[in-house]
Structure 1
Amino acid sequence: MPTATQQQQEQEQQEQQKATLVLEDGSSFPGYVFGAHVSFAGEVVFQTGMVGYPEALTDPSYCGQVLVLTYPLVGNYGVPDVSAVDQLGLSRWLESSKIWAGGLVVGEVCNEPSHWSSMSTLHQWLLSEGVPGIHGIDTRSLTKKIREHGSLLGKIVVEGQEDPTFSDPNKVNLVDRVSIKEPRVFNPDGDVRIMAVDCGLKYNQVRCLVKRGAMVTLVPWNHILDPSQYDGLFLSNGPGDPQMCKQTVEQLRSVLASSTKPVFGICLGHQLLSVAAGCSTYKMKYGNRGHNQPCVHEGTGRCFITSQNHGFAVDAASIPPEWAPLFTNKNDNSNEGIVHRTLPFFRFGASLRLWG
């Protein structure tokens, strides 16, 4: 834990270094830099969760994005031991091996965390990973702008640093950037063989599958999918536009045409499987990101509070006749899952606490 003197020095240093969040519509939000003193350009998105910033920052779905946290105070419980691993060799506290968000925007950053697991401040962690943060921003006004205008490109420009050009991360294959490069097996003595396609997977998904007795073979996003090698296929979450993952979609079309083994997709995995089934997708106005998204189950009318992080969605009007809607977001009526009417193929656009 940093000493009181170190915390004071950090705070004074942050207050001296100015930075500005600049949006593509010409608006700007002045503040102060914390973390790494570097500039970054990407898509500006907001997340409505009250807690969970270590998990959010390490969620590969935020790759290429400037993450705005709407909760006014961030960093108050510090950062846990990022080197700690569990029995599977995965990070114990984080959702991946690194911070994937390109930048962080908060109203107020806390330099004096108080929590039993805290090993460093948010500032120290971002600094160690080379990720810039900006605080002193009116995040309420910024979030209202994004909600009214729609998604905006933006950049954190640190005073004295080179001003980067605007960059749209959705125009590149972000999944290729975040996915593992070689297969990896967890719990090799498991009773059921699950092949998990890593499109930007979060570690807790592996833990929950293993907890239920499965052998999990984690494979890259463009891995050849052979139904003889698994009992069930899982498609993970991930960043960006599902239309960029053409190799995955082609593999899934082959699977759907040749096998009736269970297939389950979540978030981006839901979108990829839907595209393979014949659905179309679209970019949402500002996406659904947070821990409090209400979704209604089509069969029972029951409403679930879900965790979500996606900027693209499946067009409900494009769902083929052999498929049916499974969940609908009640904030914007976007589709959050579809299910095959006769075969064991289904997917969620959200996490229904299945992984927690």
Structure 2
Amino acid sequence: MSDRGPTAAPTHAAARLSADDRTRARSAGVTAALVLADGSVFCGRGLGAVGTTVGEVCFNTALTGYQEILTDPSYAGQIITFTFPHIGNVGANLEDIETMTPAARGCVISADITDPSNWRATQHLDAWLKSHGLIGISGIDTRRLTRRIRDGGAPNGALGHAPDGNLDFDALAAEAAGWPGLEGMDLAGEVSCRQTYRWDETGWALGSGYGRLDAPKRHVVAVDYGAKRNILRCLASAGCRVTVVPATATAEDILRHKPDGVFLSNGPGDPAATGDYAVPVIHDLLETGLPVFGICLGHQMLALALGGRTEKMHQGHRGANHPVKDLATGRVEITSQNHGFVVVPDSLPPEVTTTHVSLFDGSLEGLKVEGKSVFSVQYHPEASPGPQDSHYLFERFVAMMDK
């Protein structure tokens, strides 16, 4: 037991809390528990929807933008631990979303959610979680959980919320241990659009909200592997009429729209798994000579199409404070990131140049193909949430199309 709620951490595969522990948990008002695959138990108070969920437990270090984070499709299959303790204090609204249907499995926060304190808030975060069927837990030691993820890698975990406190810890441990994990899992197909659509919404402005593109200069086809809305807004703000196609679109489907350039979006899951159907399409697109720009999963699959390979990271990069160095200019950008896989630099052919590297761990953060209008970055230049240091990349893409 701790002053932040009862917590036990057995190292075996089942969560065997003693009868006394379970009694104390109920008397302490415990209504939710996160149980990791190794049997570690974190008890607290339930938020949002009632029930159980299972996924990879990761952490995000951003101080703001929890609503954008929870609606980022790249979090499909994951339970998000927020390292910042005050989550929910500005409420929720209908504008700060990256997709209509969140794909994250759940969330873990430290402090209880307070009443909203922001003029844009239209809903309490707890009510917003309920409306989207998302399960959450508060009142646990998120610092301890973050250290566990940092040192041991992102574990599988099961999160349960029962308002009456009747939690089956052993069943949660079994769910966590039985979940296959993200390696080899294609999740892009789950979060991608089902049919082609047009996008013309531009960036948000104080007093007027989101705008509309009136006079497009270029036409971009965006392949939706789990695209965030703010990426599409950034393309539209740069003067691009955007046609969004599903992840399974063929090269013929894409070229039928006569694009000036092709954008490969972010998305969740293992790039090698999604690459089974996406990489041949990207390879065909590269043969056309059209400008190609990729972000996150799109960056990883572009690398696969160029002959490289990807691998699972120990804990991934997730936050809005990651320094990345542009090797051409020496400029350091503070970036927003969300990825658990990375391109292996030594696997890339000689004509592919590394353009950006992480100053946290030296991992590859950007590439380009020499002599071609083809480039990509691992991080999120559209931010939302996060700094806007890298918005210039959208202008670079437009400049390539202008040529």
The equivalent residue for 2:160 is 157
Q: Any conservation in 1 of the 2:31–2:167 contact (CA below 8 Å)?
A: no
Match of 1:137 among 116, 136, 140: 140
The structure 2 residue matched to 1:68, chosen from 78, 81, 96, is 81
Unmatched runs of 5 consecutive residues or more in structure 2: 1-27, 201-213, 382-387, 393-403
The more displaced of 278-287 and 98-107 is 98-107
Matched, 1:19 2:49: no
Of residues 171, 179, 182, the one that matches 2:192 is 179
Q: Deviations over 1:245-297 (max 9, x none)?
A: 111111011122x2111000001100010000001100000000000111111
DSSP 3-state at the match of 1:109: coil
Map of 2:312 onto structure 1:
283
Is the contact between residue 225 and residue 255 of structure 1 (CA under 8 Å) also seen in structure 2?
Answer: yes
Q: Which residue of 1 aligns with 2:343?
A: 314
Q: 1: distance between equivalents of 2:59 and 2:33?
A: 17
The answer as to 2:59 corresponding to 1:94 is: no
Matched with 1:118 is 121
Deviations 1:214-238 (A, max 9, x none): 1100000010124462110001111
Contact residue 176 and residue 221 of structure 1 kept, 8 A = yes
**Which residue identity does 1:197 align to in structure 2?**
V
Q: Identify the residue that residue 243 of structure 1 maps to in structure 2.
A: 272
Q: How far 1:107 sits from its partner (Å)?
A: 0.3
Asked whether 1:32 is paired with 2:45, we answer: yes
Separation in 2, partners of 1:74, 1:98: 20
How many angstroms apart in 2 are the aligned matches of 1:339 and 1:110? 44
Looking at structure 2, the residues matched to 178 and 153 of structure 1 have their Cα atoms a distance apart, in angstroms, of: 21
Tell whether 2:333 aligns with 1:304.
yes
Bigger mean CA deviation after superposition, 41-50 or 117-126: 117-126
SS of the counterpart of 1:270?
A: helix
CA contact (8 A) 1:169 1:240 kept: no
Structure 2 CA distance, aligned partners of 1:125 and 1:63? 18
Which residue of structure 1 lines up, in the alignment, with residue 15 of structure 2? Answer: none
CA RMSD of aligned residues (A): 1.7
> Which amino acid in 2 is paired with 1:278?
G
Distance 2:30 2:133 in 1: 16
Q: Distance in 2 between matches of 1:192 and 1:207?
A: 14
Identity of aligned residues (%): 39
Moved more, 265-274 or 93-102: 93-102
Cα separation, 2, equivalents of 1:130 and 1:255: 38
Instruction: Return the alpha-carbon distance in structure 1 between the equivalents of residues 131 and 237 of structure 2.
Output: 32
Aligned-partner residue type, residue 75 of structure 2: Y
Q: In structure 2, how many angstroms separate the alpha carbons of the residues matched to 1:136 and 1:17?
A: 9
Q: Distance in 2 between matches of 1:287 and 1:173?
A: 17
Report the CA distance between 1:332 and its aligned residue.
1.0
Q: Which residue of 1 aligns with 2:379?
A: 350
Distance in 2, Cα, partners of 1:157 & 1:114:
28
1:326-350, CA deviations, whole angstroms, 9 ceiling, x for partnerless residues?
1111111111111011101000001
Aligned to 1:339: 368
Give SS of 1:101's match: coil
CA shift, 1:189, in A, is 6.2
Moved more, 24-33 or 42-51: 24-33
For the 8 Å contact 1:38–1:161, the answer to whether it is kept is no
Which 5+ residue runs of structure 1 have no aligned equivalent?
1-14, 83-91
Deviation at 1:309, TM superposition (A): 0.3
Distance change (3 Å), C-alpha of 1:28 and 1:161:
closer
Aligned residue pair count: 331
1:52 alignment counterpart: 65
Q: Distance in 1 between matches of 2:185 and 2:346?
A: 27
Counterpart contact for 1:73–1:107, Cα < 8 Å = yes
Q: Which region of structure 1 is more displaced relative to structure 2, 147-156 or 222-231?
A: 222-231
Question: By how many angstroms is 1:186 displaced?
Answer: 2.4
Q: CA deviation at 1:172?
A: 2.9
Separation in 2 of the partners of 1:157 and 1:204? 32
1:204 corresponds in structure 2 to 230
CA distance in 2, matches of 1:225, 1:161: 49
Q: Secondary structure at the match of 1:31?
A: strand
Q: Distance in 2 between matches of 1:186 and 1:78?
A: 28
Give CA deviations for 1:77-118 in whole Å, capped at 9, x if unaligned: 0011x2xxxxxxxxx321110222111000013231100011
**Superposed counterparts of 1:318-329, under 5 Å:** 318-329=347-358
Q: Secondary structure at the match of 1:39?
A: strand
| Alpha-carbon contact 1:268-1:349 (below 8 Å) kept | yes
CA 1:130–1:161: 2 relative to 1, 3 Å: farther
Q: Is the 8 A contact 1:65 1:169 kept in 2?
A: no
TM-score under structure 2 normalisation? 0.79
Partner residue in 2 for 1:88: none
Q: Does the residue aligned with 2:337 lie in a helix, a strand or coil?
A: strand
Separation of aligned partners in 2, 1:127 and 1:295: 36
Any idea what the Cα deviations from partners look like across 1:164-213, whole Å, max 9, x if unmatched? 51224524321000000100012496221100000010111111111222
Does the Cα contact within 8 Å between 2:33 and 2:167 map onto a contact in 1? Answer: no
| Aligned pairs (5 A) from 1:218-237 | 218-226=244-252, 227=255, 229-237=258-266
**Is residue 213 from structure 1 mapped to residue 226 from structure 2 by the alignment?**
no
Counterpart-to-counterpart distance in 1, 2:167 and 2:101: 24
- The one-letter code sitting in structure 1 at the alignment partner of 2:137 is I
